[in-house]
Amino acid sequence: MVDAVSTDPATVVARLRSTFASGRTRPLAWRLAQLGALRALLTEQSEEFLAALRADLGKSAAEAYRGEIGFTVNELDHTVAHLEEWLAPAPAAVPAAFLPADAHVVRDPLGVVLVIAPWNYPLQLALAPLVGALAAGNTAVVKPSELTPATSAAMARLLPRYLDREAVAVVEGAVAETTALLEQRFDHIFYTGNGTVGRIVMAAAARHLTPVTLELGGKSPAVVEPGADLAVTAQRIARGKFQNAGQTCVAPDYVLAIGDTATALEAELATAVGALYGEDPASSPEYGRIVNERHHDRLTALLGDGRVVTGGGHDRAARYLAPTVLADVSPEAPVMQAEIFGPILPILTVPDLDAAIAFINERDKPLALYAFTDSERTKQRLAEETSSGGLVFGLTVSHLAVPELPFGGVGESGMGRYHGKYSIDTFSHTKAVLDKPLG
Ligand code: NAD
pLDDT surpasses 90 at 124:
yes
Asked if residues 210 and 189 have their Cβ atoms less than 8 Å apart, the reply is: yes
Using DSSP's 3-state secondary structure scheme, residue 176 falls into helix
Domain with CATH 3.40.605.10 in the chain: 9-216+409-435
CA of 198 to the centre of ligand 1 (A): 8
Dihedral of alpha carbons 146, 150, 156, 159, sign:
negative
Report CA dihedral (209, 188, 151, 302) to the nearest 10 degrees: 60
User: How remote is the CA of residue 200 from the centroid of ligand 1, in Å?
Assistant: 11
Q: How confident is the model over 319-372, as pLDDT tens digits? A: 999 999 999 999 999 999 999 999 999 999 999 999 999 999 999 999 999 999
d(CA 276, CA 239): 8
Q: Whose CA is nearest to atom 27 of ligand 1?
A: 193
Predicted pLDDT of residue 3 = 43
Residue 293 has pLDDT above 60, yes or no: yes
Fold held by 9-216+409-435: Aldehyde Dehydrogenase; Chain A, domain 1 (3.40.605)
Closest CA to 212 of 228, 223, 196, 201: 201
Across the chain, mean pLDDT equals: 96
The span from the CA of 43 to the CA of 315, in Å, is: 34
- Residue range(s) in the chain whose domain bears CATH number 3.40.309.10: 221-401
Instruction: Give the residue, by CA position, lying nearest to ligand 1 atom 40.
Output: 215
Q: In b/e form, how buried is each residue of 32-67, taking b as 16+ CB within 10 angstroms?
A: bebbebbbebbeebbebbbebbbebbbbbbebbbeb
Catalytic residues: 215, 249
pLDDT at 1: 37
Buried b (16+ CB within 10 A) or exposed e, 254-270: bbbbbeebbebbbebbb
* Residue 409, pLDDT above cutoff 80: yes
Of 288, 274, 278, 180, the closest CA to residue 234 belongs to: 274
Q: How far, in Å, CA of 225 to CA of 66, rounded?
A: 29
Q: Which one of 3.40.50.300, 3.40.309.10, 3.40.430.10, 3.40.50.980 gives the CATH number of domain 221-401?
A: 3.40.309.10
Choosing from 192, 243, 367 the residue with most ligand 1 atoms within 8 A of its CB, the one to mutate for a pocket test is 192
Q: Which residues line ligand 1 (CB under 6 A)?
A: 116-120, 125, 143, 145-147, 174-175, 178-179, 192-194, 197, 200, 215-217, 249, 339, 341, 367, 409, 414
Rounded to the nearest 5 percent, the helix, strand and coil shares of the chain are 45, 20, 35
Mark 199-216 as b/e (b = at least 16 C-beta within 10 Å): ebbbebbeeeebbbbbbb
Query: What pLDDT is recorded for position 305?
Result: 86
Helix axes 124-135, 28-44, angle to 10 degrees: 160
One-character DSSP codes across 188-228 = EEEEES-HHHHHHHHHHHHHTT--EEEE----EEEEE-TTS
Q: Whose CA is nearest to atom 22 of ligand 1?
A: 175
Distance from residue 122's CA to the centre of ligand 1 (Å): 10
6 confidence band (pLDDT: 50, 70, 90): low
Q: 3-state SS string over 92-124? A: ECCCHHHCCCEEEEEEEECCEEEEECCCCCCCH
0.85 cut: is pTM over it?
yes
pLDDT, tens only, 24-66: 999 999 999 999 999 999 999 999 999 999 999 999 999 999 9
**pLDDT higher than threshold 60 for residue 281:** yes
8 A C-beta contact, residue 326 and residue 308: yes
Instruction: Specify the residue with its C-alpha closest to ligand 1, atom 30.
Output: 193
